[in-house]
Chain A
Amino acid sequence: MIRRVLVLFLVVITVFIAVAIASVRNINRAVAGSDWVNHTHSVILENEGLRSDLFIGDGAAHTFVVTGDTRDRRACIEALSNVDEHLELLAALTRTESAQKDQVARISVLVNRRTDLIRSVVAARQAGDTERVRTLLADDAGQPALKEIQRAIEKLKYDELELLTERDTASFLQAQMTRWTVWAGVTLDLLLLLGAGWLIRDDIAARRRAAAVLLETNERLEAMVLERTSELAAANVKLTDENLERRWSNQGLEHQLRYNNLIINSINDLVLVLTRARNISRVNPAVVRLTGKEPHELVHTPFSTIARPHYDGEPPMLDPISQAMNEGRDLRGQRAVVIDKLGREIPVIMALFPLRDSDKVVGGVAILQVVPSSGRPQS
């Protein structure tokens, strides 16, 4: 778009320069034409002056012949002098124009011949040679030479006027051409400027549309960014809350576990957690204290390795511990003995509570209370 506008402006400038050059050239031609018109008028004026002074001189000579008055003679001499001057000027004015130059040369010959005659008549009259005067005037009867001169002068004048008309026409045409050139150039420039203006307006409109689209896109993008940012912020808040909730939940469970362990570990009775197969899975410190065995020596070993029911007489057909576990019922007040690390048997009262998970017995908790030597459980 910018390139097109630049090209248009370049064309406008070119047309402007072309019009300016054409105008300057036409002005120069008009000036030259005007000079020539002045020159032609000068030729015509000199031509007319020549004719006038020649006739004045001729008339004054004839008057002098009749009157013999020196004033007429002086008038004649002065007129002839003017004639010479006119001839010189005509020769000078027409020296560059061959046709006119030839005409002026011919007129000069005729006029000089006539002025020589006039001078001869005046000289003869001045000398009192009447006969000579009569002869000269008789030869000039009818003044054919003067008529010829007049025709030549008329011809020159006519030719000059013809040329003047021609050049006047040419000058008019040139002026017309200049006018047309200027108006055409101005009109073309205006049209081109209008075109450039239209292109610029179109370009500005396109830029405005593009800017509006850009603005709209930016606003949409900004809205999306804001929306996304708020979504991220909300997600971040949610994550933070979830994280806090998880930490809180963990600490709650840990606290509860620690508290429960504290309670179990502080019980003086022996507490053992058994699996469904009656293997030991956990013991409290009272078990370690009484048996002298460390937890790692007890865990995953059968419960029967450290404790067994005690009967004064014949043992029952079925093991009461297995029976309670299988039936999922509590076993309370069962006399039993604990076998310590040295193989000693320590009498205890045993209780067994099944551990249930979704109505299934998955193990049990055995609590053994040491029987004091008096036969009552230790407090």
Chain B
Amino acid sequence: MTRASATKPAETRAASAQKHILLIDDEADIREMLGMFLTGNGYRVTAVASEIEAEKIAGIDRPHLVITDLQLEYSDGLEMVGRLKALLPETPMILLTGVLFDPKVVREVLIKVVSSYIDKTAPLSRILEEVRRLT
């Protein structure tokens, strides 16, 4: 589990007013870059690598938004989204994946499961737009 946000007491107090984002990706580079970017844009980010860690965080510090990869090391992203939705029914979720889907598939399948789908080749500014829209 990686806390991308700072952990100093003063900053933690300030961060309490920030929106909390739970980021799930098994690639450390993705967690680091996206965590740094979202933290720099005023969000409090908790970045984890697995579903078990994600569920633990969701239980103790409810996120305002979940961003998850599709293909995780030990689980399927869409299945995990289903389980997380049971825990966090009101929380919007973004599927961030390197698998390029046909737009029709996105429209007809993915959007029914997640709040938004973004492929990993999209620029960070596009991801920020979606994060702002959903939080």
A240 lies within 8 A of B40 (CB):
yes
Tell me which residues across on chain A come within 8 A of B100, comparing CB atoms: 256
Q: Does B121 contact A (CB under 8 A)?
A: yes
Q: With A240-B40, A241-B40, A259-B99 in contact, do A252 and B33 touch (Cβ < 8 Å)?
A: no
Tell me which residues across on chain A come within 8 A of B37, comparing CB atoms: 241, 244, 248
A256 lies within 8 A of B98 (CB):
yes
Q: Does B124 contact A (CB under 8 A)?
A: yes
Q: Does B30 contact A (CB under 8 A)?
A: yes
Question: Given the complex of chains A and B, what is the CA–CA distance between A83 and B27 in angstroms?
Answer: 145
Q: A251 touches which one: B29, B36, B125 (CB < 8 A)?
A: B29
B123 lies within 8 A of A245 (CB):
yes
B99 lies within 8 A of A248 (CB):
no
Binding site for A on B (CB under 8 A): 27, 29-30, 33-34, 36-37, 40, 98-100, 119-125
Q: List 21 A-B contacts (CB under 8 A).
A: A237-B40, A241-B124, A244-B36, A244-B37, A244-B40, A244-B124, A248-B34, A248-B37, A248-B124, A249-B121, A251-B29, A251-B33, A251-B120, A252-B119, A252-B120, A255-B120, A255-B121, A256-B98, A256-B100, A259-B98, A259-B99
Question: Given the complex of chains A and B, what is the CA–CA distance between A256 and B98 in angstroms?
Answer: 6
Task: Give 6 closest A-B pairs by Cβ, nearest first.
Answer: A252-B121, A255-B98, A252-B120, A248-B124, A245-B124, A259-B98
Question: Given the complex of chains A and B, what is the CA–CA distance between A256 and B119 in angstroms?
Answer: 10
Q: Does A25 contact B (CB under 8 A)?
A: no
Question: Given the complex of chains A and B, what is the CA–CA distance between A245 and B119 in angstroms?
Answer: 14
B122 lies within 8 A of A252 (CB):
yes
Task: Give the residue among A249, A255, A259 with the most B Cβ atoms within 10 A.
Answer: A255
* Nearest chain A CB to B129 CB, angstrom units: 13
Tell me which residues across on chain A come within 8 A of B36, comparing CB atoms: 244
Tell me which residues across on chain B come within 8 A of A247, comparing CB atoms: 33
Over the window 100-123 of chain A, the binary record of Cβ atoms lying under 8 Å from chain B Cβ atoms (1 yes, 0 no) is 000000000000000000000000
Task: Give the residue among B27, B36, B99, B120 with the most A Cβ atoms within 10 A.
Answer: B120
Tell me which residues across on chain B come within 8 A of A237, comparing CB atoms: 40
* Nearest chain A CB to B130 CB, angstrom units: 14
* Nearest chain B CB to A252 CB, angstrom units: 4
Q: Does A253 contact B (CB under 8 A)?
A: yes
* Nearest chain B CB to A253 CB, angstrom units: 7
* Nearest chain B CB to A179 CB, angstrom units: 82
* Nearest chain B CB to A237 CB, angstrom units: 8
Question: Given the complex of chains A and B, what is the CA–CA distance between A256 and B97 in angstroms?
Answer: 10
Tell me which residues across on chain A come within 8 A of B123, comparing CB atoms: 245, 248-249
Tell me which residues across on chain A come within 8 A of B119, comparing CB atoms: 252
Question: Given the complex of chains A and B, what is the CA–CA distance between A101 and B30 in angstroms?
Answer: 132
Q: With A245-B124, A247-B33 in contact, do A252 and B98 touch (Cβ < 8 Å)?
A: yes
Tell me which residues across on chain B come within 8 A of A249, comparing CB atoms: 121, 123
Question: Given the complex of chains A and B, what is the CA–CA distance between A115 and B36 in angstroms?
Answer: 140
* Nearest chain A CB to B30 CB, angstrom units: 7
A256 lies within 8 A of B124 (CB):
no
* Nearest chain A CB to B123 CB, angstrom units: 6
Question: Given the complex of chains A and B, what is the CA–CA distance between A241 and B30 in angstroms?
Answer: 15
A256 lies within 8 A of B40 (CB):
no
* Nearest chain A CB to B119 CB, angstrom units: 8
